[in-house]
Amino acid sequence: MKPNVAAARDALSHLEIDDKEVSVRSKSRDFFWYSPVLKERLDHVVGDFVVAPKTEAEVIEVLKTCYAHDVPVTTRGAGTGNYGQAMPLEGGCILHLKNMAAVKEIHPGRVIVEPGCLLKDLDAACIEQSGQEIRMYSSTWATATIGGFIAGGSGGVGSCTWGSLRDLGNIIRLRVVTMEEEPRILEFTGEALARVSHAYGTNGIITEIEMPLAPAYDWVEMFVAYDDFTPAMELAEAVANEDGILIKLATVFEAPIAHAYFQRVKPHVEEGTHMVGLMVAPHSMDGFLTLLARMGGTLIYRSDDNDWERTPGPVFEYGWNHTTLRALKVEPSITYLQVRYGYPQHKELIGKMRAEFSPEVLQHLEVLREQGKVMFAGLSLVKFTTEERLDEIIRMHEEAGAMIFNPHRYTLEEGGRQTVDDRQLAFKREADPKGLLNPGKMIAWDDPNWAFDRMYAYPKMQAAE
Ligand code: FAD
């Protein structure tokens, strides 16, 4: 059926609607432009109107109305995703969750929150009311929502200790609304969480979230400098392997990243400086400094004691995808890869990739804990030349055994493990029978026989003018 956008918009006119051209355009975009490949393909994409429900009942009303008029619905947290996840490829309604931001309950070890709450506000409420903090957050802590993190993110600051969002125990419960003639409200725990977490809102809207908490600390943030890359990488790995030392971040930057792209760090490092960024709990500092003395390395900055004229700001805002952002600001031709350097070959693989590609590809590593093993996620910086070369670099990583989560694709499968997630697909069949939720992002829904031999192009994507 052809969407009747005007009818849906009229029927929802008593809600908070925004259909001003400029703001609809800006709320139709995320950080897709990090990728030159996505920039070229998605730049023109725009929704028809934005609606910002205040309650779950209003979410249900939006979904029911859009269902009746065959209008696609793409959910928006804060629009900080990098893969065009929040972009309405077919236009239609943008469901903006900014008004559903309440922290509802805080208990020992857990919090119940609405999806539109910013990570920083959630963290602040937990710290203030209970002395606890969220276990992990994307480095977009200051701007991103908890709902967008769960539906579109994977892990981040804290993952060196707690693992990724998909690991058991890192999400407790999700409440989800379906897009049917009569939307249903479902509560998911355990295995069922995988149906909707990291599903880009393609099969349900998350309206309430229960997350685990950890004791809050006044983290000591640091930079440690090295003349060589390998000892820098080894410090990051070693501190994560010291079970008695509590950390929240261990990031490795190959030279010349710190000197070339980190303006406030630049006066304190050389071009050849490899650097480690860290967050360590105050009571673990003695242990950490002992380890550092054993392993070498120069502590050039600590947040609780320094004489830097201009402080660098939060160290985590140099890590995860903020590294790419800082590099892009200085050198617009930079783009990036997302690599999994799995245990136990992680260091060997990183060595191989450095030998093959540095300095065209510079290593930026994040310590990641998976099933009790310490390994690395790579958010490598790439000097972009052509799409063909980028594809070749990706292929060579894969051939060497380094798994790539391709950040230059807008579908769940291509940005993931290039396989169909049967749980997400099965739930979409049940919860979104007309295929109206964030269309074009789940290949398995559109074309179950897709071979992944080339980039998927959603056939119903708006044409560029
Ligand atoms: P959005 O971009 O608005 O949405 C993300 C996806 O979730 C979209 O598909 C959207 O439709 C869907 N969605 C949003 N809310 C809901 C809901 N309630 N129900 C159903 N679907 C929903 N990501 C990481 O994982 N770790 C990082 O460390 C990290 N660092 C980043 C650094 C920078 C500088 C940038 C630009 C991005 C980074 N990202 C990172 C990506 C992104 O910022 C995070 O994943 C972020 O948490 C997304 O939150 P958001 O509110 O902006 O979500």
Q: What is the mean pLDDT of residues 212-229?
A: 98
Residue 160 lies in a domain: yes
Note down the domain range covering 434: 5-98+423-446
Pocket test for ligand 1, best of 27, 140, 146 (most atoms within 8 A of CB): 140
CA of 200, closest atom in ligand 1 = 9
Q: What is the 8-class DSSP label of residue 319?
A: S
* Residue whose CA is at the smallest distance from ligand 1 atom 45: 153
Residues with CB under 6 A from ligand 1: 30-31, 74-82, 85-86, 97, 115, 138-140, 144-145, 147-149, 151-156, 200-201, 205-206, 320-322, 325, 438
Question: Does 234 lie in the same domain as 330?
Answer: yes
* Residue whose CA is at the smallest distance from ligand 1 atom 23: 153
CA of 438, closest atom in ligand 1 = 11
Q: How far is the CA of 411 from the centre of ligand 1 (A)?
A: 14
Of 188, 216, 244, the position where a domain reaches its end is 216
Q: What is the mean pLDDT of residues 332-342?
A: 96
The pLDDT tens digits for 128-144 are 999 999 999 999 999 99
Of 166, 199, 216, the position where a domain reaches its end is 216
Tell me the CATH number at 152: 3.30.465.10
Tell me the CATH number at 65: 3.30.43.10
pLDDT range class, residue 465, cuts 50, 70, 90: confident
Question: Does 197 lie in the same domain as 270?
Answer: no
Residue 182 lies in a domain: yes
Q: Which of 115, 164, 114 is nearest to 138 (CA)?
A: 164
Q: How far is the CA of 231 from the centre of ligand 1 (A)?
A: 33
Residue 453 lies in a domain: no
Question: Does 146 lie in the same domain as 127?
Answer: yes
* Residue whose CA is at the smallest distance from ligand 1 atom 31: 321
> For 196, left (φ over 0), alpha (ψ -120 to 50), or beta?
alpha
Question: Does 373 lie in the same domain as 234?
Answer: yes
Q: Per mean pLDDT, which range of 105-109, 331-335, 377-381, 451-455 is the poorest?
A: 451-455
315 to each of 196, 309, 319, 407, how far by Cα in Å? 31, 16, 7, 24
* Backbone φ and ψ of 207, nearest 5°: -110, -15
Query: Is the pLDDT at 332 greater than 90, yes or no?
Result: yes
* Residue whose CA is at the smallest distance from ligand 1 atom 1: 79
Of 172, 199, 216, the position where a domain reaches its end is 216
Question: Does 296 lie in the same domain as 381?
Answer: yes
Question: Does 436 lie in the same domain as 366?
Answer: no
User: Looking at the DSSP assignment, which residues form a beta bridge with residue 243?
Assistant: none
Q: How far is the CA of 320 from the centre of ligand 1 (A)?
A: 13
E strand or H helix that includes residue 66: helix 56-68
Question: Does 135 lie in the same domain as 184?
Answer: yes
pLDDT of amino acid 419? 85
Question: Does 356 lie in the same domain as 249?
Answer: yes
Residue 308 lies in a domain: yes
Question: Does 225 lie in the same domain as 206?
Answer: no
pLDDT range class, residue 464, cuts 50, 70, 90: confident
* Residue whose CA is at the smallest distance from ligand 1 atom 27: 138
Q: Which of 121, 116, 157, 153 is nearest to 139 (CA)?
A: 157
Question: Does 148 lie in the same domain as 25?
Answer: no
Counting every residue, how long is the chain?
A: 465
Question: Does 143 lie in the same domain as 76?
Answer: no
> What is the number of domains present in the chain?
3
pLDDT range class, residue 263, cuts 50, 70, 90: very high
Residue 372 lies in a domain: yes
pLDDT range class, residue 33, cuts 50, 70, 90: very high
* Residue whose CA is at the smallest distance from ligand 1 atom 36: 80
Residue 455 lies in a domain: no
Question: Does 368 lie in the same domain as 282?
Answer: yes
Q: How far is the CA of 153 from the centre of ligand 1 (A)?
A: 5
Residue 184 lies in a domain: yes
Pocket test for ligand 1, best of 73, 117, 138 (most atoms within 8 A of CB): 138
The pLDDT tens digits for 396-405 are 999 999 999 9
Q: What is the 8-class DSSP label of residue 461?
A: S
* Backbone φ and ψ of 337, nearest 5°: -125, 160
* Residue whose CA is at the smallest distance from ligand 1 atom 25: 153
CA of 145, closest atom in ligand 1 = 51
